[in-house]
Amino acid sequence: MNIKLNIKKLDDRAIIPSYGSEYAAGADLYAVLDEPLTIDPHTTAFVHTGIAFELPLGYVGLVFARSGLACKRDLAPANKVGVIDCDYRGEIIVAIHNHSDLVQTIEHGERIAQLVITPYVTAEFCECEELSDTVRGAGGFGSTGKK
């Protein structure tokens, strides 16, 4: 499935998100920096992308870690998954957390996260006195694992 997405460069140096392969679900987001950004161990830094976009009604942008950055350099979005609502029109900024014990540096133009665009549903929350019964019931946190 392919949708058209209106995108605006807020900085001339911004790089339009791109897919790394034909069937990639996530499009790479790129850092826009005046100088290399140093992220101290166990701290978070906000990384600008220099872009804004207009998601269609009923779609959400989800910002995930790039596996290479997360596995090789311990850098990942601080909020685990960023949520970009379809009515947001501001700059896409990624909060990157350094989970390592080493100083990490982000360079201008570096791929910092990946954006997945997907449809979503909303719910009408209806308060009730009872919920239907299931075999699982209220079991959680490993309750369906091996016995």
User: From first to last of its 147 residues, what are the pLDDT tens digits of the chain?
Assistant: 889 999 999 999 999 999 999 999 999 999 999 999 999 999 999 999 999 999 999 999 999 999 999 999 999 999 999 999 999 999 999 999 999 999 999 999 999 999 999 999 999 999 999 999 988 888 788 777 765
- According to the model, what pLDDT value does residue 50 have? 98
pLDDT of residue 141: 82
For 80-104, letters b (16+ CB in 10 Å) and e give eebebebeeeebbebebbbeeeeeb
Instruction: Please give the Cα distance from 72 to 69 (Å, whole number).
Output: 6
Tokens representing residue 73 in the block: 């350099």
Q: Work out whether the CA dihedral 46, 51, 53, 59 comes out positive or negative.
A: negative
Domain ranges of the chain: 6-119
pTM of the model: 0.90
53 touches 92 (CB < 8 A): yes
CB of 50 closer than 8 Å to CB of 13: yes
CB 117 within 8 A of CB 3: yes
pLDDT of residue 83: 98
What is the per-residue pLDDT for 31?
A: 98
Domain 6-119 has CATH 1.10.520.10: no
